[in-house]
Amino acid sequence: MSDGLPALSERHVDPAAYPPGVAFMDGQYLPMREARVSVLDYGFLHSDATYDVAHVWGGAFFRLDAHLDRFFRNIGKLHMTIPYARDEVAEILHNCVALSGLRESYVEFICTRGTSPTFSRDPREAVNRFIAFAIPFGSVANPEQMERGLRVAVSEVVRISPVSVDATVKNYHWLDLVSGLYDAYARGAETAVLLDANGNIAEGPGFNVFAVKDGAITTPDYGVLLGITRQTIFDICAGCGIACAAGVLSRDALAGADEVFITSTAGGVMPVAEVDGRAIGDGAAGPITRRIKDSYWALHDAPAHRSVVAYPEERHDV
Ligand code: PLP
């Protein structure tokens, strides 16, 4: 196969085969394979939903408060309501992880527009739905890519304009990002970075982009999700005196950077080795990227950022 994947006929997946994990929906905790939504849910039909993803590392959530802040801000922006207060959502997320037993977990929580009993077209008549789940930790970059750096292509697909869809509301409008991935694969790259309508770098499928030049770091400020990992990079840089600012990052500045890395809750700080077939720096993770990556993982031990999960075998109150 030209795409390096097995033939389609060999790719049949048992529809009941899901990652292990625990979901919460409609007031119940369920094994992951049993968590299903109605096809009439507007989250599915119209991508009318917002979500957030936090991770658990070493048995503790990292910056859960920041994820909850973003989630509640975004459901407010979309005129959605859920029947759970912030501390109840935190408890549900903790329970999903505790019941799953996962010490390293990818924890997603979603609010969909939901369904309307009359299939009304008026979004105000829909009953919004809250869903959460904890599955094994996943990363944008696999271990080999983490080691040698990702090969990235700048896609010709333009990122959906923030004038149309508020990029700060974490959303499932991913057709541009997915088209960008196919564009990248066709050019021999492993992932894509999309441009904004002005031709500057925006973001990629599930990550923010950072470029290092002469010791100073720039990340795009327009048309991007305000990543929690991105904010953590600002905090780390402020703490150790590295200049790091959000601003315009041109395509040429990305290609000519000394170091490039991408960031996501799904993977943390991930080095980029190549942009459009040209090596960045000497083609391996540079010193600033390595330093920031180490600081990022060290910060997971900071009590202020940890929210420790009480796994059933460690609880004495049940
Ligand atoms: N940009 C997009 C489009 C994303 O989907 C994500 C995360 O999934 C990010 C950036 C990174 O955000 P965070 O650091 O909060 O995971």
Q: Hey, whose CA ends up nearest to atom 10 of ligand 1?
A: 207
The whole model's pTM is what? 0.94
> Is the CB of residue 267 below 6 angstroms from any atom belonging to ligand 1?
no
Q: Where are the domains of the chain?
A: 18-136, 143-301
pLDDT tens column, 187-246: 999 999 999 999 999 999 999 999 999 999 999 999 999 999 999 999 999 999 999 999
Q: Check: CATH 3.90.550.10 for 143-301? A: no
Digit-coded pLDDT (tens) for 68-126: 999 999 999 999 999 999 999 999 999 999 999 999 999 999 999 999 999 999 999 99
Domain 18-136 falls under CATH 3.30.470.10: yes
Backbone conformation region of residue 236, classed left if phi is above 0, alpha if psi is from -120 to 50, else beta: alpha
Angle 282-284-287 (CA atoms, 0-180°, nearest 5)?
A: 90
Amino acid at 70: R
Ligand 1 pocket mutation, candidates 264, 293, 299, criterion most atoms within 8 A of CB:
264
Query: Is residue 62 within 6 Å of ligand 1 at its C-beta?
Result: no
Q: Which CA distances in Å does 151 have to 2, 64, 81, 191, 245?
A: 18, 31, 41, 7, 24
Residues 275-291: pLDDT tens digits?
999 999 987 889 999 99
